[in-house]
Amino acid sequence: MPSRPSTPRAAPHARGSNKAVFIDRDGVLCTDDQDRRGPSSMNIIHGARKALNGFDSMGLLRLVVTNQGGIALGSFTEEDMLSFTRRLWDLLGDDGPPWDAYYYCPYHDEGVIEPYIAESIDRKPGPGMLLRAALEHDVDIPSSFMIGDHLKDIMAGHRAGCRSILVTTGRGKRQIERIMEDRIRYGNEAYPDAIVENIGTAYELIREWGG
């Protein structure tokens, strides 16, 4: 199976001058079924706009890191995904950009669409997108945070070297069941540093933590 890391080699726990919050897209900023139904059907998750504005006011870089393996699987095209992203920008960006950078991984090792059939360190739980974003934006990873609705997000954050927060929106509730069923415990890379209701609550927590 070909591999497309598409990520510079970098040591985990890279120390930069900026703090950041790495944010999954589907299930965190918006519901995860719009790519199949079109941008006009988009639903924003409660608390997303408040959180993005809050992170900006705190001086945290807002870096979206999203798996988009549906491109490789033929569920939608890359242009479909980009159209959806532009719609998301319009809905979330009140007075300015809703995020500082946007990273996506179109690869999947079980894909059917060339040239996206590949394993990639960018595909979470791989930390590739986070490490690349940290390099490109001079991020201090140990002082940063990952927010996601899947254990893959939690693992990617921990592999990169930052604290990871699981939200119960999107697939989050099912992931809590997995934690219990699989007896995932503290110290396991899939065990979140916190579990909260949504990204708005994650913002409040990070503010309490002094992010």
State pLDDT tens for residues 148-200: 999 999 999 999 999 999 999 999 999 999 999 999 999 999 999 999 999 99
Mean pLDDT of the chain: 91
Q: Which amino acid, one-letter code, is at 107?
A: Y
Query: Residue 155: helix, strand or coil by DSSP?
Result: helix
Catalytic residues: 24, 26
Band of residue 35 on the pLDDT scale cut at 50, 70, 90 = low
Band of residue 13 on the pLDDT scale cut at 50, 70, 90 = low
Q: How far apart are CA 121 and CA 73, in angstroms?
A: 18
pTM of the full predicted structure?
A: 0.92
Confidence check: pLDDT of 27 > 70? yes
Other beta carbons within 10 Å of 210:
7
* 61's tokens: 């870089």
Of 86, 103, 84, the closest CA to residue 31 belongs to 84
Confidence check: pLDDT of 110 > 50? yes
The full set of domains in the chain, from first to last, is 20-209 (3.40.50.1000)
